Amino acid sequence: MNKEKARKTAERLVSKMTVYEKISQLLYTSPAIERLGIKEYNWWNEAAHGVARADTATVFPQAIGMAATFDPELIYEIGCAVSDEARAKYNQNVRFGDRGIYKGLTFWAPNINIFRDGRWGRGQETFGEDPYLTSKMGVSYVNGIQGDGEYLKAAACAKHFAVHSGPEYTRHTADAKASLKDMWETYLPAFEACVNAGAAGVMGAYNRTNGEPCCAHSYLMEEVLFGKWGFDGYFVSDCGAINDICAGHHFTETKAEAAALALKKGCNLNCGNTYEKLVDAYEEDLVTEDDITEAAVKLYTIRALLGEFEEKRPYSDIPYSNVNCEKHRELNLAAALSSAVLLKNESGFLPMRDKYGRIAVIGPNANSVRALEGNYNGRSPEYVTVAEGVRRVFKDSAISVATGSSLISTRGGDGEELLSGALAAASDADAVVLCLGLDSSVEGEEMNYEADGFFRGDRTTSYLPKPQIKLAEAVCDICDNVVVLVMCGSPADLGEKVNKAAKAVLHLWYPGALGGLAAAKLLHGDVSPSGRLPVTFYRGDAVLPDISDYSMENRTYAYSDTEPLYPFGYGLSYSDIEYKSARKVSEDEEKITLAVTLCNAGGYDVNEKIQIYAHFTDTRTATPKYRLCGVKTAFLPASCEKTVEAEADKKFIKAVLADGARVCPDGEITLYAGSCQPDGRSVALTGKAPLKVRYK
């Protein structure tokens, strides 16, 4: 069904409603209208990394882990699997008359905000700090979720529009001040890309941006989203954000005025209940029936595109057996394997193979299911923790398991009573797999929780909690062969002693239900690590801009002067990949195509993540140190040479002026192709410099 036909269906249905019935349809809990044969519909559903909050589903790696794959094609496959499961579950929900929350087909994902500050608790839900990578991953996920059939398989929603990335504790009152340059260079590109890709929805953020609430914004909504971009999908508020216009931002005096303002700016749907006050707003002539009708028509157009009003619903033949089916479990394992980033591997300590007869798996995340899940998650029928994964993979080794410490410092202490058991296990082991990190109880969306290193969902430092550092240092004193696995959704600094003493460090993010099996396979050497960092890792004692400062000055790899612990785009493998040559082969208005010749001189098959960066200068404006503008996954068998074509997106090889305009740089442009960015720290860590391709 095309959009024109869907809108006509919507107009026909809405025309039969009273004005008060129309208003009722603008809340996320849209009630049934029995006299018209319209069923109730709950718009709220989540799918950041799998169908969430509705019992059984495949739990894929958290979004930041998906970003670490640097593989948009893989993310598209995940999106397809998610929407398959969404339809399978929806078909049964309808069959049994369950139309409640988290049971519909309108998913409020992906989160394409920029992870500009590694301390932000919700950064784990994003695709990292780079606008190009976020755009590519966001579009792939949207396309996978929505499908390419006559009807939407499910409806994606890009959030949170716009200029939103913490801090969590002020999001209902804060004003994120951003220049037009920063908005158009960093904060808006992914939204524009998802709108151009046909995303069904856009969700507004809680905060104000440059003085106006994001769910009632003259510039962002009227001028940019609906004007310049021509967005014709639906706009939904974040949950409670319309109430914030009045109660948090004090932008209006009453809730009725807040509701009227948001509706007139283009917010069609209220997650919350403030739109109940549209009754008052209508009766006080703050809004017209035409305003209400247009919002209802937009919402019903989406419902029509999903096939809700068809005699035979589309995709009704997708069976419930698709949920967490074998195909999706295989994809989930592949995603977890691809997302892990090998940060350190001293003297080729990994892979471990079967060299160690006794292995101790130690740490608060050794047996943690919560550390596999992240947040905004479903529930898997099966979880494989690291301890269980090591047991399954290292079948000829004796495996011991110990917790060692609490996850964080609490009033009850640091878990000191657990330390001696862990040290006993470590002293008796030939090698230790040390499982550290966080989980969604301390890192995530707006919390009341405060502790050393944490503040209401956000972090105050990238150091891991002190109990874990203490455990790690003690274990490294006892055992020489220690590999650290970190599960968290953000950068992590293990401290100077452990950074130096650990033989290897593998960052797993929140790796999904099968993350422990993936970790064990990587440790054993069944697969070579291929993940890359989608966010810069700074040292725990680094002096960073205030988290509430939205200027991009001294932020991310593009503008920061702070030396990182590990740079954006960094990640090691078990093989030796040589970039032999790179040259331009073609060019059009949108892209530059490079032919890159690589040689796998090592003994392991690898999925090499080719990264293309641009360096350019312009006399009119500040330009990034480097800007990622292309990614390509190339499978290279051991001892194989291959030439691969990789595309650079010209949009990200342009300078952004103070007014937000993108222009061709008036200085030199140089492209780089390699396994990391061209900065000195990346080259020093990998020992390899990307190839330079002179462009202009």
Active site residues: 238
- Which helix (H) or strand (E) segment is 101 a member of? none
Structure token digits, residue 32: 């049934």
Across the strands, what pairs with 613? Answer: 628, 672
Q: Is the peptide bond before 534 cis (omega within 30 degrees of 0)?
A: no
Classify 497 in phi/psi space as left (phi over 0), alpha (psi -120 to 50) or beta: alpha
Give the orientation angle of helix 3-15 with respect to helix 289-305, to 10 degrees: 130
Rounded-to-integer distance, Cα 627 and Cα 677, Å: 9
- 70 close to 61: Cβ distance less than 8 angstroms: no
Q: In what order do the strands lie in the sheet with 691-694?
A: 627-636, 606-616, 669-674, 691-694
What's the CA gap between 216 and 229, in Å, rounded? 17
Distances (CA, A) of 44 to 29, 51, 54: 8, 12, 11
Maximum separation of any 2 CA atoms in the chain, in Å: 78
Phi and psi at 135, nearest 5°, equal: -60, -50
- Please, where are the H alpha helices in 624-688? 680-686
Helix (H, G, I), strand (E, B) or coil at 548: coil
Total Cβ atoms within 10 A of residue 115: 29
How many other C-beta atoms lie within 10 A of the C-beta of residue 610? 23
DSSP of 183-243: IIIIISHHHHHHHHTT-SEEEE-SSEETTEETTS-IIIIIIIIIIIS---SEEEE-TTHHH
Which of 576-580's residues contact partners 24+ apart within 8 Å by CB, and which partners?
576/600, 576/601, 576/602, 577/601, 577/602, 577/606, 577/608, 577/636, 577/675, 578/688, 579/673, 579/674, 579/675, 579/688, 579/690, 579/691, 580/641
Q: Per-residue DSSP letters for 481-534? A: -EEEEEE-SS--B--HHHHHH-SEEEE--S--TTHHHHHHHHHHTSS------S
Asked if 600 contacts 637 with a C-beta cutoff of 8 angstroms, the reply is yes
Pairing of strands 577-587, 591-600: antiparallel
Is the separation of the CB atoms in 328 and 54 below 8 Å? no
Alpha-carbon distance of 87 to 178, in angstroms, equals 39
**How far apart, in whole angstroms, are the C-alpha atoms of residue 472 and residue 494?**
8
Alpha-carbon Rg for the chain, nearest whole angstrom, is 25
Tokens read off for 320:
């419930």
Find all residues with CB under 8 Å of 282, minimum gap 6, and list them.
19, 23, 288, 289, 292
For residue 4, give both structure tokens.
């024109």
